[in-house]
Amino acid sequence: MDLQRCTFAILLAMFCAAGASAQSEPSKKTEADCYAQQAQLEKDMRAARSRGQMLRRRQLEESLHALQSRCEEVAALQTHEGRVMRQKNVVLQLRLDLDRAEEELRRLMAEKN
């Protein structure tokens, strides 16, 4: 089972790296694209966490941070849309922080048992 997880994590890392290089031109992104990709990464992170795939979750989190940086460039170009996008990024970051806190709580509770 651990071998499958490691293999999956390696494949995912390669996929994320390919995706990141393909997305290196922020001028071609739209705000909607950025938000949709961020939402998908967040969904994938929750799925990985629920399956106990912490390495995959961390890799997805790194991809999310990189995507958010690129999307901020797009958001800066658009006034109202930029403010909305930045606020969505704040909400996504708070969700990630909450996920980390819940993960830590589960770890602490598991230590007790």
Q: What is the mean pLDDT of residues 27-55?
A: 83
For residue 33, the model assigns a pLDDT of: 83
| Calpha distance 20→14 (Å, rounded) | 10
Q: What is the mean pLDDT of residues 48-54?
A: 90
What global pTM score does this model have? 0.46
Q: Is 70 exceeded by the pLDDT of residue 101?
A: yes
Contacting residues for 48 by C-beta, under 8 A, at least 6 apart: 54, 56, 57, 60
Q: Where are the domains of the chain?
A: 2-112
Q: Is 60 exceeded by the pLDDT of residue 2?
A: no
For residue 44, the model assigns a pLDDT of: 92
